Chain A
């Protein structure tokens, strides 16, 4: 079975500050890892994904994440927060042979303050 833990249901940063959203996974097989963002009253948008290969993954809107197998982590970062980054962020995991089934974390609400 796979699972994802997102530490911190709410994170607040100042505009221009580093954004760090934490995600740890549990999987018995090599995982595929994803970060999605959800704006109010909208569906989910893929920010980035790790499947195989390079462990540092760059996504849209300046976000990136690093797959660290030894730490079972896939934290999301952005060097400089913008007001438009305020949203809910979800980490998700799937596995080889699991099709498109995603197991999501509980989400982190990011607040960006002036």
Chain B
């Protein structure tokens, strides 16, 4: 099985722009979660989707949004980019929305640099 794929792998944007990141989960997985990783704040949960519904949301401003499509692929969008949004954005997929039952598999991440 192919792993979790994230596109693009690297991205450079300027302040004020918006960006869309894509995540394709492992085939058959219906749960997708997003995390932001920065040197200062570490790994922080953004949101989780299961069967096109947002099930969980982290403590991020409304500029951060996401969605999931019927094929389980997910996108996250960040509007009005700020310098502090520079980070590695990780996507994880699982076959179950119950965290104790199935392993979450992480993608390689999208590294976003905001100038």
Residues of A within 8 A of B (CB): 32, 36, 41-46, 49, 51-52, 90, 92, 94-96, 98-107
Contact = CB atoms under 8 A, between A and B. Distances in A.
Given A43-B4, A44-B90, A100 B42 contact: no
B108 A101 contact: no
A101 B109 contact: no
B103 to A, nearest CB: 5
A3 to B, nearest CB: 12
B42 A106 contact: yes
B42 A102 contact: no
Interface string B28-39: 000101010000
B15 interface: no
A101 B45 contact: yes
A51 B44 CA distance: 21
Interface in B21-67: 31, 33, 35, 42-45, 48, 50, 55-56, 58
A94 B90 contact: no
A98 B4 CA distance: 22
Contacts of A41: 108
A105 to B, nearest CB: 8
A100 B4 contact: no
